[in-house]
Chain A
Amino acid sequence: MTEAEQIRQLLLEAGDGVVPRATDPVEAVARRRSRRKASRVVALSAAAVLVAATAVAIAVSGHSIGAKTPAATTTSVAQRKVSAVDTKLWVISEQSVLGRGNRATGTRWALGPLPVNKAQQISDSGGSATNPVYVIEMRGSFLCGGCSGHGTGSVPTYHVLTLYVLASNFTILGVGLDNTWYDLNRLGKPFPLVEPPGGLTPLERHPNMAPFVGTWRSASGILKVTLGTNRLNYGGPTCLEFASGTPQCQSITFTTRGVGIGADAGRSYRSLVGVIASDTVGLAVGSQITLTTASGDELIVSTGGKPSVPIPNPWCGPSARKAAC
């Protein structure tokens, strides 16, 4: 027997006859994993105590401490680097908030990509998801343009906006409006969405643009918003610059889930008070809009008012294609 064979034999003998103590190895591994998770929680708690102690020390020394964000009181911070995904999610959330003529206050939180079944735990708005989604939760004042029974001009306001964003292509799958903050910690480790440092066009409504909330009237008196892709054509400036830097020219494509909340799909409206999600950000005052639904219904929308000044070409923005402008 060679030396190598002898060593191999010795090593094999060391393992031979060893019988595991664990009668159920799966349970043993699960128990071990739970212990590791518990130890992490202890470590996080220790870190939280340290942070709290530091804050107290700063307060005692006379420095002011910023008030906790509403979200921070119920959602713990998961440290992570700001990635491209974070930036995309932030832009999506920003467009969604400002597109509704609203504003978000405090920290925005995101979570994901979440499996479908977990996203559905929050709301039925994510119910039709068949792929992993990101969940974004924001606090602020959000108008519900698509809520039923709003022909009177009073638009209900909610304080928590939840977005469901498909992880595969970052399209908004559903929007939820509520007054109750859902603790995302129940589903995983949420991370704060913060404005990326520079590099993005500030998403502010141009003074020449129409208000984001208006009353629309269907040409037939009844608009049936159906599932599928609906197309919005409008006459106005040919190109507009959006926060994402992507120019939108001539037509805007959106889905019914972009109208109000996800529950809009399949409902009929005599009038709509609201917005067409973020895509209306660039609409100019006095624009004539035709909404053609997937079922063939058309909705003539006037954003009302008159442009106070001619719409200048520079609206096309630096990244827009010159020919299209």
Chain B
Amino acid sequence: MEEAGEPVIMPLDDDEFSAFVRLRYAALVRYGASLLGDPAGAEDLVQLSLVKLNRAFDRVDPERREAYTRRVMARAGWRQARRRWNGEVPTAHVPERAGLGDGEVVVDDRDALRRALAGLPLRQRVVLTLRYLDELSEAETADVLGCSVGTVKSRAARGIEALRRSGLASEHEVTPRIGQQGVEP
């Protein structure tokens, strides 16, 4: 029985939309996890984005629906970074404790990188996701997030720098697809 005060669930009557949700939900949650680094938050983000897609479903080109959803997710993630409660990040790893000798803590490079990525500020992570996972140019990333190209550059640079400090190999530095601003003559 439904709890008192719980809103009545209005069924999604659009079969096409329901089919889209069933088909792409898991993939979108994985993308959200890449974006936020938090699986639970990712699922929240996906659901909120799908609610927005639902309202615009008929207007969005069928071939662009997933792109639309991802764009909404990226923007929401970017805005989410401004919220105060984001200051507390739940983590499965307890901090390193004092008194442990070097030989007692074995951390491989890969794990250090993962933790460095998890420790990045949300906006840096969102920019890195769009730049390196979605392979957007700096200009495209700025367009999606509604910020300047300079902001994208600075966030990406700081994020990469943090990863480098944790062991990111930089001997073959190659940037992803370069926007017009970055094209060398």
Contacts and interface: CB of A to CB of B under 8 A. Distances in A.
B169 A6 contact: yes
A35 B7 contact: yes
A30 B18 CA distance: 10
Task: Kindly name the residue among A8, A13, A20, A36 whose own CB sees the greatest number of chain B CB atoms within 10 A.
Answer: A20
A262 B48 CA distance: 45
A15 B21 contact: no
B51 A32 contact: yes
A37 B31 CA distance: 26
Interface SS of chain A: helix
Given A1-B169, A16-B30, A18-B30, A26 B133 contact: no
Nearest to A2: B174
Contact of A29 (B30, B54, B170, B172): B54
Interface stretch (B35-43, B83-91, B100-108): B35-43
Nearest to B19: A26
Contacts of B11: 30
Contact of A14 (B9, B37, B51, B54): B37
A22 B30 contact: no
A84 interface: no
A7 B10 contact: no
A32 B47 contact: yes
A10 B51 CA distance: 29
A14 B34 contact: yes
Contacts of A35: 7
A26 B12 contact: yes
A30 B55 CA distance: 12
Interface residues of A, number: 34
A18 B42 contact: yes
B117 interface: yes
Given A4-B176, A14-B33, A26-B18, A36 B169 contact: no
Interface in B32-65: 32-34, 37, 39-40, 42-43, 46-48, 50-51, 54
Contacts of A33: 10, 12, 51, 54
Contacts of B168: 3, 6-7
Contact of A12 (B34, B46, B48): B34
Contacts of B133: 8, 11-12
B18 A2 contact: no
A321 interface: no
A29 B51 contact: yes
A22 B51 CA distance: 15
Interface in B96-138: 113-114, 117-118, 128-129, 132-133
B149 interface: no
A15 B18 contact: no
Contacts of A219: none
B127 to A, nearest CB: 11
Given A13-B114, A15-B30, A20-B25, A29 B175 contact: no
Contacts of A68: none
B30 A11 contact: no
A25 B7 contact: no
A34 interface: yes
Contacts of A7: 128, 132, 160, 163, 168
A35 B31 CA distance: 24
- Specify which of A10, A19, A31, A35 lies most central, judged by the most chain B CB atoms within 10 Å of its CB: A10
Contacts of A28: 47
- In the A-B complex, the 8 residue pairs with the smallest Cβ-Cβ separation, listed nearest first, are A15-B30, A38-B7, A25-B25, A2-B174, A15-B34, A15-B33, A18-B33, A7-B132
Interface of B: 7-12, 18, 21-22, 25-26, 29-34, 37, 39-40, 42-43, 46-48, 50-51, 54, 113-114, 117-118, 128-129, 132-133, 160, 163, 168-170, 172-176
6 contacts: A2-B172, A14-B34, A15-B42, A16-B30, A18-B29, A32-B47
